[in-house]
Amino acid sequence: MAEKQTGGDIRQTVETKPKSSEGSLAVRYAIDDLGIKAYYTSPGTWATDKVFVKSVGPGITALGIGSGKQAWKTSLPGPVCGATRHVTADNRTAVAFKSEPMVGDSMSAPGNAETSCDSLAFIDLDTGEKLWQGKLLLPGDGTTFDVRVTMTRGTVVAARYGGSVAFDMASGRRLWSTRPPDRTACEDIGYAGGKGLLALVQCGNSETTKYKVQKVAPRTGKRQWTYEVSPGIEFVNLVSAAPPVIAVAAGKEEITDLIVLDDRGAKRSSVTVSSSRFVTACDPGVESLIETCDGVVVGDTQLFVATKQRGYDGETAEGEAANEIVAFDLATGKSGVKFDGKVGRPIYPLRMSADRLITYRQGGTYTPSAVVAIDPSSGEESVLLLFPATDELFDWESGYTGLIYEQGRFFMFTRTVQGPTDKSEAGKEALVALGYESTG
């Protein structure tokens, strides 16, 4: 049974099976007035029971579910440069943005890349209302880049190289901040939120980098425990704050292991997830250190990772499933049950819904795509939504496409938006997102 949530809680939707699993198009978001060679990053994507919301450059646009028409649009002084995937129980979220206008149509144009990401706004996703706005600059700090935003109950936290700041969710009042004495000291560079708050701490310079993971009291910033990441780790990604799970790149620029910590910050177990077999969909780059492992879903007792799709490096055997999702025990790190995709139709984990795993099963030429709920204890499957297969946007394993299933609706979206390459393609639309809902 779902826990009763209040406005400051981070949303944990429990999905139910609709009357009809047959789905139809609910949202199609495309932009046809982009300039030649225009380029925008699009870090924010959310859905509520009323709207689908997407940030593109300095604008945040909401489309009504079903109608597909614009419900509202909010323009910020400059482009959105950081966002959290978390949403409160009353459909609010936080975005970081630049207070200076963009130069031209490209986020990478001279002037844009150097502009400080210096502000944060708390927004009502249903109405577009900006509830409050705060400055991210710390005393004596003139530049703020690569901002990473997260939320936990009642608190919004933003971090980047050079410091971090926490705000009260209801009022926008600053709660606490951190700033290292110099760049060789330890500094918080990102936080994972949700049901808890973890900090990723980097120490030393580029030649002597070491990482720590710390549990943080959201209202005070006080450190409750520290886990020292082994030397030689290239990157760390905070996958989940509660249960605490991190992804590490050991000796290479790709995720190699998942490490599970206990409630005192000690190593509980580890799972090897070599890129030759598994798809963690983690971005180990410096701009994506928190909550960007789309291919890893963490439950209360297990975590789930999909294997790579067969057939890319060789032929699949006749009748063989395209891939499978493997469950690993959080306490031991041992693999347990596997949930197979279909022939030619790989399956990917999306998120937990109470004790059930929500998955996306890719469609084929003659078969629809599907959202399927799986009971990990019994393997029982329940089809939640069927909809036309499309590859217009889907490139999930590369990280360019994101997937959301929220309140009975499935959304597929891009993380970057590009305009026509030359004048001959002027007016050509850029597809940003597709969404489907039950017809019942």
Kindly report, residue by residue over 148-197, the tens digit of the pLDDT: 999 999 999 999 877 899 999 999 999 999 988 766 688 899 999 999 99
Q: What is the DSSP string of 302-348?
A: EEEEEEPPTTSSSPPPTT--S-EEEEEETTT--EEEEEE-BTTB-EE
pLDDT of 393 higher than 70: no
Are 179 and 251 in a shared domain? Answer: no
Residue 365 burial by CB count (10 A; 0-12/13-18/19+): exposed, middle or buried? exposed
Are 163 and 258 in a shared domain? Answer: no
User: Per-residue pLDDT averaged across 360-388, rounded?
Assistant: 93
pLDDT of 328 higher than 80: yes
Which value, to the nearest 10 degrees, does the dihedral of the CA atoms of residues 138, 245, 348, 410 take?
-40
d(CA 434, CA 80): 21
Q: What percent of the chain has pLDDT over 70?
A: 90
Are 213 and 329 in a shared domain? Answer: no
pLDDT in tens, 16-30: 999 999 999 999 999
Are 198 and 305 in a shared domain? Answer: no
Query: Within a domain: residue 133?
Result: yes
- Domain at 222, CATH number: 2.40.128.630
User: Looking at residue 182, what is its pLDDT?
Assistant: 67
User: Looking at residue 401, what is its pLDDT?
Assistant: 83
d(CA 363, CA 301): 30
Name the pTM for this structure. 0.93
Chosen domain end from 228, 255, 279: 228
State which residues form the domain around 279.
244-407
SS3 of residue 266 by DSSP: coil
Least confident of 117-131, 217-231, 285-299, 391-405: 391-405
- Region of 338 please: left (phi>0), alpha (psi -120 to 50) or beta: beta
Is 193 within 8 Å of 150 (Cβ atoms)?
yes
Say how many C-beta atoms besides its own lie within 10 A of residue 4's C-beta: 7
Are 266 and 177 in a shared domain? Answer: no
Query: Within a domain: residue 121?
Result: yes
pLDDT of 240 higher than 50: yes
* Sign of the alpha-carbon dihedral angle for 261, 264, 266, 269: negative
R_g of the chain computed on alpha carbons: 21
User: Per-residue pLDDT averaged across 64-68, rounded?
Assistant: 91
**What domain count does the chain have?**
2
Q: How confident is the model at residue 302 (pLDDT cuts 50, 70, 90)?
A: very high
Are 348 and 302 in a shared domain? Answer: yes
Is 145 within 8 Å of 287 (Cβ atoms)?
no
Query: Within a domain: residue 120?
Result: yes
Are 164 and 106 in a shared domain? Answer: yes
Query: Within a domain: residue 363?
Result: yes
Greatest mean pLDDT among 166-175, 339-348, 381-390, 391-400 lies in 166-175
Provide the CB-side half-sphere exposure for 293 (13 A, CA).
32
pLDDT of 4 higher than 90: no
